[in-house]
Amino acid sequence: MAANSHRFSDARNANAVRPCGHFILVTSEELGTVSLIRVDRSGMQPATIATANLCCPVCSRDGKSVFYVSITQPQKIWQVPITGGAPAEVAEVLGNQLVGRLTISPDGKLLAYPYTQYGHVPSEGRSVAVVPIDGGPPVKNLKISQDTGTLQWHWSPDGQTTES
C-alpha cells in the first residue's frame, strides 16, 4: 500500500459497491450467503442490513432505502431501510429469472427490471416489468428483442419509458 492509503472496508469477497445517500453499499458473499452491508463514506462502521441469496442492490432516489432481489425461486424484489430493519417484499419477479439490473425511475416512484421465461415452448423471450416501488402489480410489461445481450436498462429523462 502507498504511504497515504488505507483499507476501505473489512468486508470479505466484496462486490457490487454502490453509493447510497450518505453511505456506500457493499455485497459480501461467504459460504453461499450474500450480505448487504452499509458502510460510511470512509468504509468504516459496517452494518449488515440484509442477508439472503441476493443480488442487484440499488439505492432509492432519496437514499433512505435499498432494493434488492432474492434469487431463490421464486425470485422476489425486496426493500430495506438504509438504516436497517425488516425487509419488505415489493414484488415477485415475473417469469423465471431476472436478467439484468433493477433501475429506479427519475421520480423515484417506479422500478423496472428485465426478466426471462425459460423452458416455455415457444420461448416467451425477454421482457421488462415496471412496478411501483411501494409494491403492487406491474404497471407495464414490455416485450424486448431476444437477440439483446446483457440487459442494461435506463429510464428516459421524463421517466415514462425504459430504454436499452
Q: What angle do CA 78, 84, 87 make, to 5 degrees?
A: 25
Sequence-distant (6+) residues with CB within 8 A of 149 are none
What's the pLDDT at 1? 45
* Residue 43 pLDDT: 78
- The per-residue pLDDT for range 120-137, each reduced to its tens digit, is 555 667 889 999 999 999
pLDDT of residue 5: 44
Amino acid, res. 42 = S
Mean pLDDT value of segment 47-72: 93
Residue 132: Cβ within 10 Å count: 15
pTM: 0.83
Q: Grid coordinates representing 155?
A: 429510464
162: confidence class by pLDDT, cuts 50, 70, 90: low
Give CA–CA dist 40/38, Å, rounded.
7
